[in-house]
C-alpha cells in the first residue's frame, strides 16, 4: 500500500478503529500486524481514550515499536512498526 499522512510518515497498512472500545482496537491491530512483514508500519486511528495505554502495553509485550503517537481532533493516532520476531501474548 505504502501511503503517508500529512506528517510524511509512510505506512503499509491502516486500521480505522474509531468508535470501537477496548479491546477491539488492539485485537484488530493484532490481526493486521500478524499478517504484516517485519519493519512494515501500521497506522491506527482510534477514539477510545484508553487506546493510548492499551497500545503502549501491547507493544511493550510484543516488541512492536510505536514510532509516533498523537491526538488530532480527539482521534488517537499510532504508527506501529512490526517487530522482526514479535512475542506472542
Which positions are annotated as active-site residues?
A: 22
SS3 content of the chain, % helix, strand, coil (to 5): 25, 35, 40
Half-sphere exposure of 34 (CA within 13 A, CB side): 9
Question: What are the distances in angstroms from CA 83 to CA 21, 37, 48, 56?
Answer: 25, 9, 24, 14
Q: Which residues contact 3 (CB under 8 A, 6 or more apart)?
A: 10, 11, 14, 43
Amino acid at each position: 500500500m505504502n501511503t503517508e499522512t500529512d506528517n510524511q510518515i509512510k505506512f503499509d497498512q491502516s486500521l480505522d478503529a474509531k468508535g470501537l472500545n477496548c479491546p477491539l482496537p488492539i485485537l484488530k491491530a493484532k490481526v493486521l500486524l500478524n499478517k504484516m512483514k517485519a519493519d512494515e508500519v501500521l497506522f491506527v486511528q482510534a477514539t477510545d481514550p484508553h487506546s493510548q495505554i492499551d497500545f503502549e502495553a501491547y507493544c511493550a509485550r510484543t516488541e512492536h515499536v510505536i514510532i509516533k503517537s498523537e491526538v488530532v481532533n480527539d482521534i488517537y493516532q499510532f504508527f506501529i512498526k512490526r517487530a522482526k520476531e514479535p512475542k506472542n501474548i
